[in-house]
A = this chain, B = another copy of it.
Amino acid sequence: MVETIQYPKKKQNKVVRYDSIADYECKTVHSIVNESPVLHVSFVVDGLPVNLPMIGQMGSFDHPSAGLDEPLDLYIHGYVSARMMNTAGTEGMKVCVCASIVDGYILTYTPYSHNYNYRSSVIHGTATLVTDPDEKLYAMTIITDKIVPGRYENSRTPPTKGELAATSILKITVDSASAKVRAGYGVESAEDIIDENKKIWTGVMPISHIFEPPVPSAYNEVPLPSYISDFIEARNKESEEYIKYSTTVAPK
């Protein structure tokens, strides 16, 4: 059996509910974060929770060639308020980041056993402001390439001094993390498998997240480059294959 790197189970990240679908592997946690267009970043201000949508990508500035199955940091791009900056700039700000992808609805005889097919990651970590210009450029590169791999080098880069100064990047070092992956058909409770319920439609309603044909801007003068069209084709194919898998596999 191949050894995989897992996040240790601590009090903070141990999944207690539906633990059969819990997954602590670095690769699972990191893949879901990188595949989610948006992350939800929560932190505490004056004792109250704040939760904001932000864009982020897992990476390692010290070991840029590290794979998704290795320890990584989470780089977040987004508006960092003065208050956040003050907190994150000194001792670091505690954050909890959640990434979720919904793959479908599972309809069974009774609402109680309805379910979702989904993939989610939760990362508990400490956020600090990135001040090193090289690390900031590294983060800007991987966050731009999250949109389409290769976009950074195929756009007007590097950023100007003004752009660099106006961009805030938070680096989140991971304290603990976990993922949940639910895939498969629905499961009925034994007492619901009766003739009377057979009139009820049951099955999976798959949801796919599809890249539609790109719409060039009014001033665009070049054909769609292959780094974009190939990426879209590959992602849509993956999506189609995952739908097939997630609707037919036996659930854990």
Contacts and interface: CB of A to CB of B under 8 A. Distances in A.
Contacts of A211: 205-207
B95 A49 contact: yes
A206 B204 CA distance: 25
A94 B50 CA distance: 10
17 contacts: A44-B49, A47-B94, A48-B96, A48-B124, A49-B49, A49-B94, A49-B95, A49-B96, A51-B96, A53-B98, A53-B120, A107-B228, A112-B167, A186-B217, A201-B224, A204-B217, A206-B213
A216 B228 contact: no
A248 B215 contact: yes
A166 B111 CA distance: 13
Interface of A: 12, 16-18, 37-38, 40-44, 47-53, 55, 79, 81, 94-98, 100, 102, 105, 107-112, 114, 116, 118, 120, 122, 124, 140, 144, 147-148, 151-152, 154-157, 159-160, 163, 166-167, 185-186, 188, 192-193, 197-225, 228, 232, 243, 247-248
Given A16-B81, A40-B51, A202-B219, A110 B163 contact: yes
B197 A156 contact: yes
Contacts of A52: 98, 122
For A42, A97, A109, A213, the residue with the greatest tally of chain B CB atoms inside 10 Å of its CB is A42
